[in-house]
Amino acid sequence: MTIKLKAQKRDVFGKQLKKVREAGQVPVVVYGAKQEATPLVVDTKEFVKVLKEAGESSIVSLDMEGKGHDVLIHEVQYHPIKGQPIHVDFYVVQKDKKIEVDVPLVFEGVAPAVKELGGNLVKVMHELPIEVLPKDLPHDIKVDVSGLATFESQILVKDIKLPSGVTVLAELEEVVVSISKAGEEVVVEEAPIDLSQIEVEKKGKQEEEGSEKTSAEEKSE
């Protein structure tokens, strides 16, 4: 099912964007390898619905004044107090060019080591970095934990069954999920976010961001 969102042309920038947000719209920028940075607005409520459904790992069909573009929600900025989205970056994907995306992992089944031995399920990874053509991009990737029967059991990246057309970018021996004994302290180190995974044309984006920075007073209103 195609996830759709409508966008409209935007001619205001900087401090004037406060009125745009008060009117129930979010200023956005659309850009890509072959797409010049384009300032637009989308309906705030509609965007929130799309974000919940698509996340940042599903293709969204963005209607730009009657012309559709396949995009990923690349970055969302939120109001520091209200928590509402105040700016969004959309990245235009090319149908014939593979993209690198972090896709959410969904854990399914019941681990015998948890049910029968009282162990704890330790989810070391919550997303999996992959490379894939836009048409083959999965919304999520399933991980079956029903084979974890002992405290030594674990699932590695190489054990995950990948959908057709998907190439994993993580180390194959990296642990995805494991079992720990009840009461055992487990420290899971989170890898730093790498925002350079998707190649983008940054010049227009940086100019746009520079014109839209608001003061601390405006953000706290």
pLDDT, residue 193, reads 47
218: tokens are: 């405006």
Segment 54-80 shows an average pLDDT of: 89
d(CA 124, CA 178) in angstroms, rounded, equals: 7
Segment 110-134 shows an average pLDDT of: 94
- Predicted confidence (pLDDT) per residue in 177-211, tens digit: 999 987 665 555 555 544 444 444 444 444 444 44
- Predicted confidence (pLDDT) per residue in 41-52, tens digit: 999 999 999 999
pLDDT-based confidence at 67, cuts 50/70/90?
Answer: confident
d(CA 60, CA 1) in angstroms, rounded, equals: 10
Segment 23-31 shows an average pLDDT of: 92
For residues 169 and 132, is the Cβ–Cβ distance under 8 A? Answer: no
All domains of the chain in start order, with CATH: 3-96+198-219 (2.40.240.10), 99-180 (2.170.120.20)
